[in-house]
Amino acid sequence: MTKQHEREPIINIQNVEKHYGSVTALDGVSIKIEAGEFFSLLGPSGCGKTTLLRIISGFDNPSVGTVFIGGADMTDVPPNERPTNMVFQSYAIFPHLNVADNVGYGLKKQKLPKEEIDRRVDDALKLVDLEGYGPRESHALSGGQRQRVALARALIMKPKVLLLDEPLSALDKKLRETMQSELRKLQRTVGITFVLVTHDQEEALTMSDRIAVMFDGRIAQIDSPEGLYRRPISRRVASFIGVMNFIPATVIENTNKILSLNIKSLGQLDIKTSSALKKSEVITVGIRPEMLTILYNKSDTSEYSFNASIENASYYGDMTYYEVFIEDTDIKATVSMRNTAGRPVLEIGSKARVGWGKDSITIL
């Protein structure tokens, strides 16, 4: 007889609340994180993401709710007895110890033979590309090296879950981008569940398997990066993840799963949908800047198009972002264009025809 088990999540947070006096930092948060996942908690500062991470690590206790890690109730277990390890925002490298002693810090307690510790420290340093750095003094390390030491120090403990508290925020842009892909690679190599806290949507999108977007102590949406970008469930999520143009629209009809919309000043269109919007309801539709195209030639065609005047142009080298006013309205839209051959940067104040398609519309 074989039992069909649903895969047990490595972290199961059930209905967690955290109150500091009259301030509510977390309000009814429930998350299940699968083993081996790269999971990000994304949100603006003060949204409770760090508090949630500290509750997973054991440095804070929830006021209400339960935290299961690896199937066991860990709600009241102190951090030193949890199968989690943390990479701190400040890296928290012990200044009085050299690199090898920092990395081997957690092993010392396990009463392993010295050779075993040395071997595992070397392995861990190799894993983060710091081979031979063992005898270095920790205060002589650069920011990127400190972060690698912090990673090695946590990974050597072979935790079930590695917690990362804004680990890249102290690095400069170039190094941050390198570390993003390295962290992702590292996570695939070791196969440990990573839980990352970040306020940087780009960081979350490029690294994660799944992202939980948090606002005001609540989970707004949990989805894959693509799902979040393509199907944000609210205006707030949509504008937090990337840029989105919001245009008001009115429902003309909603029958047989075909929604007829009158989008202000852009005209009427029909979309397949399963939503239960009613006739003459006023809604917002969203469209990403890259879904809008400036039609340079008169012969260029598009499913739909509108005339616009260019309000502003920001040149990024590979891309140009245009702020345009839809003609005869006060609706502003952002259009992003790749600067390929035959696409000159348009002058501010000039007119342009902008094309779009109904598949790129998101109903919010």
For other proteins, the binding residues (CB under 8 A) are 57, 59, 78-80, 84-86, 88-90, 92, 94-96, 105-106, 109-110, 153-154, 157
Smallest distance, other proteins to C-beta of residue 249, A: 49
User: How far is residue 313 CA from its own chain's centroid?
Assistant: 28
By beta-carbon proximity to other proteins, the closer residue of 88 and 296 is 88
By beta-carbon proximity to other proteins, the closer residue of 33 and 53 is 53
Nearest one of 323, 361, 357, 358 to 247, comparing CA atoms: 361
In 3-state terms the chain splits into helix, strand, coil percentages (rounded to 5) of 25, 35, 40
Smallest distance, other proteins to C-beta of residue 86, A: 5
By beta-carbon proximity to other proteins, the closer residue of 143 and 267 is 143
By beta-carbon proximity to other proteins, the closer residue of 157 and 313 is 157
By beta-carbon proximity to other proteins, the closer residue of 109 and 298 is 109
Smallest distance, other proteins to C-beta of residue 95, A: 7
Nearest one of 178, 177, 176, 229 to 205, comparing CA atoms: 229
Nearest one of 305, 294, 291 to 350, comparing CA atoms: 294
Smallest distance, other proteins to C-beta of residue 101, A: 10
By beta-carbon proximity to other proteins, the closer residue of 97 and 295 is 97
Smallest distance, other proteins to C-beta of residue 104, A: 10
Distance (Å, rounded) from C-alpha 364 to C-alpha 362?
Answer: 6
Give me the residues paired with residue 73 across strands.
Answer: 68
Q: 317 with 275: CB under 8 angstroms?
A: no
Smallest distance, other proteins to C-beta of residue 26, A: 19
User: Which regions of 205-331 does DSSP assign to beta strands (E)?
Assistant: 210-215, 218-223, 245-255, 258-263, 267-272, 282-287, 293-295, 304-315, 319-326
